[in-house]
Amino acid sequence: MDAIWTELYNAAKEVQNPRQISDYVSGGEVAAAILSKSGKIYTGVCIDTCSTLGICAERNAIFNMITNGENEFTKVAAVMPDGKCGAPCGACRELMVQLMPKTYKGIEILMDYENERIIKLGDITPEWWIGE
């Protein structure tokens, strides 16, 4: 496996910090790291609320990238509470597609760190609702 996946996985693990923030908000159970087109790593954690106003770790990492002036990324790794990786949810996939409609299919996703399984967003989101 390319060493960048280890960097992404470790960057996500580094910010993962599950905690109850208030009676209504928890955060940090899931953490994500993305690799921007420029080669910089951005991270984010999930924020869960009782009224569905929360945010996934992947979108949080993307917003961090955008906040820092970049608009494109090539790789994403999300680390679940058990330390395993997983696919982005539908809302995260939709943001990725809308952010990079011409190149989203090539975004790589770390599905299984231990078994070095990587898939492309285009494989799990083959046809976008707006077409190409």
Annotated catalytic residues are: 58
CA distance 119 to 107: 8
Which tokens is 90 given?
């539908």
Angle between helix axes 90-99 and 57-67 (nearest 10 degrees) is 30
Q: Which amino acid is located at 82 in the chain?
A: D
Residue from 79, 78, 27, 18 nearest 50 by CA? 27
CA distance 110 to 87: 8
Longest dimension (CA), the chain: 44
Q: Which amino acid is located at 57 in the chain?
A: A
